[in-house]
């Protein structure tokens, strides 16, 4: 079940990256509204299925309190996410400054700030899910029990995706 959960979280992180790209392309008017909406609904449905696998895994194969070794891929994903976040923020701040000094259009500042917000949120989600798969003490605390707050976060994100599907 651990391998299936690792795959599900890895797939979800990939969906977060794709959704981030779609959102940023939408902000910068590269994609049309119809394409964004259909892609968002499709990826939301896939994410809900991923959450189902992740939550089901908490209730299967949890007979002992032993911590299984963490998959090292998630540590690499976490580090890579932080580096990409830093580089993206620097580039987008540069675009914002160029917009303030009227080298770029006035829309560039709002688009840069919106892009920073999207990248920050997707980085947060990616890092939190990576920390969970690494069995980090930030998520689990001193005990090795299923983190109730993390499961609640998954349920809230799933509800958000379900509500957004009705748009």
CA 80 to chain centroid, in Å, comes to: 13
pTM: predicted TM-score of the whole model, two decimal places? 0.78
Structure tokens at 21: 């790209």
Q: How many domains does the chain have?
A: 1
Max mean pLDDT range (33-47, 78-92, 107-121): 78-92
pLDDT of res. 144 = 62
User: Is pLDDT of 87 > 90?
Assistant: yes
Contact 133, 74 (CB under 8 A): yes
**Helix (H) or strand (E) run with residue 56 in it:** helix 33-58
pLDDT of res. 102 = 87
pLDDT of res. 86 = 93
pLDDT of res. 84 = 93
Non-local CB neighbours of 141 within 8 Å, separated by 6+ positions? 147
Domain carrying residue 77? 2-165
In whole angstroms, give the CA distance from residue 3 to residue 8.
Answer: 8
């Amino acid at each position: 079940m651990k391998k299936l959960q690792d795959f599900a979280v890895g797939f979800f992180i990939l969906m977060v990256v794709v959704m981030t790209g779609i959102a940023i392309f939408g902000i910068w008017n590269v994609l049309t509204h119809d394409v964004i909406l259909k892609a968002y609904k499709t990826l939301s449905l896939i994410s809900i299925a991923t959450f189902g696998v992740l939550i089901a895994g908490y209730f299967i194969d949890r007979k002992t309190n032993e911590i299984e070794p963490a998959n090292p891929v998630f540590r690499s994903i976490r580090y890579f996410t932080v580096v990409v976040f830093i580089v993206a923020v620097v580039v987008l701040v540069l675009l914002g400054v160029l917009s303030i000094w009227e080298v770029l259009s006035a829309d560039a500042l709002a688009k840069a700030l919106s892009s920073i917000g999207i990248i920050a949120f997707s980085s947060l989600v990616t890092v939190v899910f990576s920390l969970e798969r690494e069995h980090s003490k930030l998520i689990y605390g001193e005990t090795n029990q299923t983190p109730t707050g993390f499961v609640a976060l998954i349920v809230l994100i799933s509800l958000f995706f379900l509500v957004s599907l009705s748009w």
